[in-house]
Amino acid sequence: MPVYEYKALTPKGKTTSGIIDAESPIIARQKIRAFKAFPVAVKEVHDSPTKKESRTLSYARYFQRVTPAEVSVMTRQLATLISAGFPLVSAIDILIPQTRSNAFKGQLAKIKDSIVEGNSFARSLSLYPRSFSELYVNMMHAGETSGTLEIVLERLADITEGQQALKQRIRSALAYPVLMTFIGTVVLFLLLTFIVPSITSIFTDMDQTLPAPTIFLINTSAFFKKFWWLIVVAGVAMLLVFRSISKTAKGRHFLDKRVLLLPGFGQLSKKLDVARFARTLGSLLENGVSMLTALEVVKNIVGNQLIANTIEDAAKEVEKGQDLGTALAKSKIFPDISIQMIIVGEQSGRLESMLNKIADVFEGEVESSVMSMTSLIEPLMILIMGIVVGFIVLSICLPIFEMNQLVM
């Protein structure tokens, strides 16, 4: 069924816009009037844009992409409607006008049309891999197959909301240190590039031997003033090189290996990836997905390539009949406590609940570690800024003190 973008006037005279699916523009206008609005413009949305529009649409799609938070909210709303007894198509139809993002509205409308045409919900969701992850699609498939779609939606809503909440807490904890680092770097750059040279210029005309700190400050500020553009270019070039390396398999493997070796941050990153692995695998197994299929899905959602390779190798061993815990232990990448808990879960027949427990433990450790790091970073940054600014002030004041002594 075609999808139309529309602009309409409300009874109060305000302009509104949105997306609606209908068999023809006439029916689309009738649906808009049913919402007690007067249609001003109705235009069909095409899947394949013309060459003239492709560049504009590529930028629009970047800024109108569907965020994980929007998917999380939609999942919770859909779970509530399905649990209340609404058919799937009717539930999606109710959610479309409530969705703020026009891009997401269009996707939901086409997903609904795909279901009406006879495709499964999971198959319809898989048409939009950027919005709905492989985990999401596989859990929907398991829910449809087992007839427990409302339970799967509730569980998936809990998972997505939990992940969003954890990300938000980590971002909130890191926001202040990151902002202070950025502001401090900019202030020091401006001081050394523009302020210090104008102050130290008076010392260059003096026929006097300057203190070593002052000479160092003058040379440093002169370098920044003359080659500031080179520093900017070098920074941009490093970012581009890093991005190009991370896109290749070997480069990603190299960078991910170095990340795990970083003091402090490496363990933090590993725990976060293991928590994501355990949470996802436990949820898939609870919803009836087979172990091998679940491992294939989990392999694609962990952030580190080394851990993904470990999961892939473990899947091959599991396929041969080996236990998951023993297979993961061979790589020695997973923390020992996670391996022990997996082995206990397999032996007791409660692997799913044990995996969820692993996720809870490591997510809690990551959050507490981030809080501890930020509490140490803030005073450390203030100390570093104080030392640098103090050195600049001392380097400027030393020649002045020597001049006063000569005069006296």
Do the domains 68-161 and 181-408 sit in the same CATH topology, yes or no? Answer: yes
Round to whole Å and give the CA distance between 280 and 92: 25
CATH number for the domain running over 181-408: 1.20.81.30
Q: Mapping DSSP to helix (H, G, I), strand (E, B) and coil, where does residue 119 land?
A: coil
**Which stretch of 16-25, 130-139, 142-151 has the lowest confidence by average pLDDT?**
16-25
292-320 tens-digit pLDDT: 888 887 887 777 888 888 888 888 998 88
Round to whole Å and give the CA distance between 400 and 91: 77
Sign of the torsion angle spanned by Cα atoms 18, 22, 27, 31: negative
257-270 tens-digit pLDDT: 888 888 878 888 88
> Average pLDDT, stretch 153-182?
80
Burial 122-135 (b: 16+ CB within 10 A, else e): bbbbbebeebbbbb
User: Would you kindly state where each structural domain of the chain is located, as residue ranges?
Assistant: 3-63, 68-161, 181-408
Round to whole Å and give the CA distance between 48 and 143: 32
What mean pLDDT is reported for the chain? 80
Round to whole Å and give the CA distance between 199 and 60: 48
| Stated pTM of the model | 0.64
DSSP assignment of 251-284 equals HHHHHHHHHHHSTTHHHHHHHHHHHHHHHHHHHH
Q: What is the token pair recorded at 198?
A: 């104008």
The domain defined by 68-161 carries CATH number 1.20.81.30: yes
Radius of gyration of the chain (CA): 29
